[in-house]
Amino acid sequence: MTPLEHFPAKAGSIGIFDSGYGGLTILDAIRQQLPQYDYLYLGDNARAPYGPRSFGVVYEFTCQAVEHLFGCGCHLVVLACNTASAKALRTIQQNDLPSWDVHRRVLGIIRPTAEIIGELTTTRHVGILATEGTIKSDSYRLEIQKLHPDISVAGQPCPFWVPLVEQGETQGPGADYFVEKDIHQLMQADPLIDAVILGCTHYPLLMEKIKAFMPPQVRIIAQGSYVATSLACYLRRHPEVEQLCTKGGSTRYLTTEDASKFNLQAHRFLQQPVEAEHIDF
């Protein structure tokens, strides 16, 4: 691991990491609530998707990204990736941060949704739509039932949803077919579900289709606003971390993929021009 002295001590941007593009939906929601801070977004697009990869590989890749963001001056990093949050966050928090720098923080995006879900379900039956890796990790069920033992959780993997988003086919017949099929399978597994968490940051771009095929009594929960609210609360509770986050209202973008390709895809997620920088770990 990187020696402690290699990490800058002065204040820096809030780091936002994702294996690909979906974390841009989290960044967008965070900036809407907390526009005053500087942000540094890192997408490991060259090695995406993380979903099918093993716990060990996801942990290794996530560590590399977090170390890079720390090296760029970030004191706080948000893993805006459900797979990284599920497969790497706990190990990084418990094993790595004490040796890296006890004053730096790494947060995930599963717990904020798990914390709020108790207020969003009446039947106490909740569904999760996510990648195969996130569903197999069982992280949502474990986190939700740790906080709300009375809630029943059913998960449905949606392996084709991310490709649909990244190939720009959110309005095509393929989107209709796969979104309807996966929602139907989830509701068949538990007809009492009245709240469904979109456990992948790409999925908000399919919201029109999701709303069309989701039963009308079911509440659809996208993570972005809840993660943003949780981050705002965290910064209020931890002024020692907040004071190490610079406030210039700027955003930089880093990608392990070709920068021009990232710029094109990022525009689809953010609806604004993006100028990314290519990096290698």
Summary mean pLDDT of the chain? 95
- 66-114 pLDDT, tens digit per residue, is 999 999 999 999 999 999 999 999 999 999 999 988 889 999 999 999 9
Residue 151 tokens read as 């809630």
How does 50-87 read in b/e, with b if 16+ C-beta sit within 10 Å? bbebeeeebbebbbbbbbbbbebbbbbbbbbbbbbbbb
pLDDT band at 5 (very low <50, low <70, confident <90, very high): low
152-157 vs 39-43, strand pairing mode: unpaired
Amino acid (1-letter code) at residue 196: V
- What secondary structure, in 3-state letters, does 204-229 show? HHHHHHHHHHCCCCCEEECCHHHHHH
pLDDT of residue 1: 47
Amino acid (1-letter code) at residue 154: A
- 48-66 pLDDT, tens digit per residue, is 988 888 999 999 999 999 9
Active site members: 81, 200
pLDDT band at 6 (very low <50, low <70, confident <90, very high): low
The average pLDDT across 13-42 equals 97
- What global pTM score does this model have? 0.93
